[in-house]
Amino acid sequence: MTGSISHRTQLVKNLAIRHGFMGAGISKAERMEEEAFRLEDWLNKGYHGEMGYMANHFEMRIDPTKLVPGAKSVISLQYNYFPQEEQIPPFKGERRFSVDQKDLSPSGGVSRYAYGEDYHKVVRRKLKALVKELKEEIGDFHARVFVDSAPVMERDWAKRSGQGWIGKNTLLIHPKKGSYFFLAEIILDMELEYDHPIRDHCGTCTKCIDACPTEAISPEGYILDGSKCISYLTIELKDRIPDTFKGQMDNWIFGCDICQEVCPWNRFSTSHNEPAFNPSEKLKSMTKKDWRELKKEVFDELFARTPVKRAGFEKLAGTIKFVMQ
Report pLDDT for 108. 59
Report pLDDT for 88. 46
Q: Which domain holds residue 226?
A: 5-324
CA distances from 141 to 70, 73, 281 (A): 11, 12, 43
Report pLDDT for 285. 83
CA distance 132 to 154: 22
CA distance 247 to 289: 19
Report pLDDT for 100. 40
* Backbone Cα Rg of the chain: 20
pLDDT in tens, 34-86: 999 999 999 999 999 988 888 888 999 999 999 999 999 999 999 999 998 76
Active site residues: 148
Specify the number of domains making up the chain: 1
CB 179 within 8 A of CB 263: yes
Q: Is the pTM of this model over 0.95?
A: no
Give the per-residue SS3 of the chain: CCCCHHHHHHHHHHHHHHCCCCEEEEEECCCCHHHHHHHHHHHHCCCCCCCHHHHCCHHHHHCHHHCCCCCCEEEEEEEECCCCCCCCCCCCCCECCEECCEECCECCEECHHHCCCCHHHHHHHHHHHHHHHHHHHHCCCCEEEECCCCCCCHHHHHHHCCCCEECCCCCEEECCCECCEEEEEEEECCCCCCCCCCCCCCCCCCHHHHHCCCCCECCCCCCECHHHCHHHHHHHCCCCCCHHHCCCCCCEEECCCHHHHCCHHHHHCCCCCCHHHCCCHHHHHCCHHHHHCCCHHHHHHHHCCCHHHHCCHHHHHHHHHHHHC
CB 286 within 8 A of CB 253: no
CA distances from 297 to 111, 178, 254, 293, 324 (A): 22, 37, 18, 12, 21
Report pLDDT for 306. 95
Instruction: Tell me the pLDDT of the chain (325 aa) as tens digits.
Output: 788 999 999 999 999 999 999 999 999 999 999 999 999 999 999 999 988 888 888 999 999 999 999 999 999 999 999 998 765 444 443 444 444 433 333 445 899 999 999 999 999 999 999 999 999 999 999 999 999 988 999 999 999 999 999 999 999 999 999 999 999 999 999 999 999 999 999 999 999 999 999 999 999 999 999 999 999 999 999 999 999 999 999 889 999 999 999 999 999 999 999 999 999 888 888 888 888 899 999 999 999 999 999 999 999 999 999 998 7
CA distance 117 to 123: 10
pLDDT in tens, 250-275: 889 999 999 999 999 999 999 999 99
Q: Give the full edge-to-edge strand order of the sheet including 181-188.
A: 23-28, 73-80, 181-188, 143-146
